[in-house]
């Protein structure tokens, strides 16, 4: 996986802290559900892969990733869209593992 950001990402990205409380809660809950599905351990190893680099934990990086996906693809996290988020994160995590094995 490339460390480069999508050219429009910085223009479209709104930090989680700048969102409405309801939006932050949705993102946090979605990230928590994904963390459980993929059994993502506490730590910092995913920050550079899922976050922007300023996050303090895998949890924060996953929240950033959910926010990025929501804004980039305009898919609101919900029970109906959870399958899509799972597939996207699975692809991302698989690409991280592939790079680590090369």
Q: What is the mean pLDDT of residues 18-41?
A: 94
Q: Is the pLDDT of residue 10 over 60?
A: no
pLDDT tens digits for range 46-64: 999 999 989 999 999 999 9
The kind and range of the H/E element at 36 are: helix 21-38
The kind and range of the H/E element at 12 are: helix 9-12
- Provide the whole-model pTM: 0.81
Q: Is the pLDDT of residue 89 over 80?
A: yes
Task: Map tokens 């980039």 to a residue.
Answer: 72
How do the domains of the chain map onto residue ranges?
Answer: 9-97
Measured CA to CA in angstroms, residue 49 lies from 14, 19, 86 at distances of 18, 22, 16
d(CA 76, CA 74): 6
Token pair of 75, please?
A: 């898919």
């Amino acid at each position: 996986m490339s460390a480069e950001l999508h050219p429009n990402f910085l223009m479209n990205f709104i930090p989680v802290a700048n969102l409405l409380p309801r939006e932050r809660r949705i993102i946090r809950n979605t990230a928590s559900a994904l963390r459980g599905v993929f059994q993502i351990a506490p730590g910092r190893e995913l920050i550079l892969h899922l976050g922007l680099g300023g996050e303090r934990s895998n949890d924060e990086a996953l929240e950033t990733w959910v926010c990025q996906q929501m804004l980039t693809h305009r898919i609101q996290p919900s029970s109906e869209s959870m399958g899509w988020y799972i597939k996207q994160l699975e692809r991302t995590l698989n690409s991280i593992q592939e790079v680590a094995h090369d």
